[in-house]
Structure 1
């Protein structure tokens, strides 16, 4: 398997755990409000009423036999570490965390945490660049093993035409790294206003004023455009840690499928799901999509395949280890093609 349900780098998570454990940043009232609501006040105005979307997702959860993993369920009694980790699914947690990081930036010029660490981010960026160049050249790598994570020193001209969306962008450093590689049409969204404030300040300071940052919740996005490349580094993980994680993961796929342009790609980096688990989750979404389209629509499709997403490839260069007789890694990065 590609990953074994481990948390982000211990040093990164420990900092968050310390904040959460002290209670200085997130009050009990804030946690209660966040647990009851998954909405934001954004640049686009009031949020949508998502009662029906919750009901639809709940119905899909039961009818599709979707795996409601205990990792994403905070109803059971948990060890302290798991209890703290579940807070990563609450908006109040991230609002408090980014308020703290924004204050540190203004006082000390610090950029804040890099989720999964700078090494993983470097691999994701160079690997994604190689993948996009191959696709631009007409070499769509269906299950090929020749996508490397080494930087490509030529063909940067192909990258300027790619529109890129980073969901759950945080401090926006992933988009800065993509800009350094030749991508220019870059947008980052996060439901935390503090994260967007920090990302904008960092981009301006580091010479990337053209990166577009917006407050937006991927689960009820107000974005009207589609993107050729959508990046997710840890957002699906955080969504899964919400008390309603299994349902919200279904909502995630419904929403993200509308953001990725036809022929575009979705690149997910996760430390909570293995490659095979992500493939299974996509397959379940594809089956739901097929059922909703109806038999006649399926027959009319030229490709004969009504799947919304198709597996392209995954990063194979992360360090691996043996656990319980299986080979795994701490992080999985998987690319899917939007049909």
Structure 2
């Protein structure tokens, strides 16, 4: 999203300001610029040479000749003027160096690292997701909690403990720790940065969550052969969209997620660069593309949507900008059909 647009239909969110492009990040305080644009909160200062690290990443971004990531093709003939500009935050080299620094800070000072979108958003995502899943377990409408069936908190907890949960792009793994506090116990976190996984394991062991599993894995080329009842994404789709080959990689993202979320399972996406309606539109485009492929294969079954919208968070603080009221962060849940 390159700029502010009119308010989306039936939405309480407005487009967030995208993270700056690589050239814009090279300033006197690169980390602060990136942190401000992504609503990052950190409890420590930099101990490594940020200027050199960002300069190196920017050089990689500008010099790289990115090949086509897959044989997917875009549905668009012309570039979308509102697409997010590529940024070093879309490169694995950036995250590898970031988590290398975070590991140093953890070992020297015990710091947890950055919490993307802040502690408040993480807490809301964890508790809202727990409530959503509890409503589904109890046979209630997830959006309003209405039900003809009652069950004890112990029964709800016992059911949630059997949910298989995957957090893609887990980073320091703190979201999984919060989900563990909400009653989930079959928890797995993946990240394509080995440094992130090392940090997440160290933090989980320190904080008493050693049962959480952490694996090095790229969601766009996943080696996982398991389907999960709940898949969480807090900022990963945002980072994928910042890659120079972002549009293609976003298509790969949805293809991969369709294989990771179990039938009737949930996908919960938290984003600062996509409104609720934009995520709905992206899912709708993916559904249409898959159904079109099914028709081309001349299958005997009627094509159905892969994902359908379930609910979204309505409790994030809102601001007014350019006459539009909304939030910088959106969290949306989809059901895998």
Task: Summarize the alignment of residues 23-62 of structure 1 with structure 2, pairs less than 5 Å apart.
Answer: 23-24=52-53, 27=56, 31-32=60-61, 35-36=64-65, 54-56=70-72, 59=73, 61=74
Separation in 2, partners of 1:202, 1:127: 23
Give the Å deviation of 1:295.
6.7
Cα offset, 1:160, TM superposition: 0.8
Change beyond 3 A, Cα 1:321–1:28: closer
**Post-superposition offset of 1:9:** 1.6
Q: Name the count of aligned residue pairs.
A: 301
Structure 1 residues 96-105 or 22-31, which shifts more? 22-31
Q: Identify the residue that residue 72 of structure 1 maps to in structure 2.
A: 84
Tell which deviates more after alignment, 228-237 or 26-35: 26-35
| CA 1:146–1:332: 2 relative to 1, 3 Å | farther
2:92 matches 1:91: yes
Q: Which secondary structure state, in structure 1, belongs to the residue aligned with residue 14 of structure 2?
A: coil
Q: TM-score with structure 1 length normalisation?
A: 0.80
Q: Secondary structure at the match of 1:111?
A: coil
Inter-partner Cα distance in structure 2 for 1:118 and 1:66:
39
* 1:72–1:246 contact (8 Å) kept in structure 2: no
Change in 2 beyond 3 A, CA 1:177/1:136: same
Residue in 1 that maps onto 2:14: 3
Structure 2 length-normalised TM: 0.81
The Cα offsets for residues 225-262 of structure 1, whole Å up to 9 and x where unpaired, read as: 01000000000000111111111111111111110001
C-alpha distance after superposition, 1:56-105 (max 9, x if no partner): 2xx2x1x366974544333xxxxxxxxxxx11101000000000000110
Shift in alpha-carbon separation, 1:28–1:94, aligned structure 2, 3 A: closer
In structure 1, the gaps of 5 or more residues are 38-49, 75-85
**Dislocated runs of 4+, deviation >3 Å:** 18-21, 32-37, 63-71, 144-147, 295-299
CA shift, 1:161, in A, is 1.3
| Distance across 2 between alignment mates of 1:294 and 1:112 | 47
Q: CA RMSD in A?
A: 2.9
Which of structures 1 and 2 has the larger relative contact order (alpha carbons within 8 angstroms, sep 6+)? Answer: 1
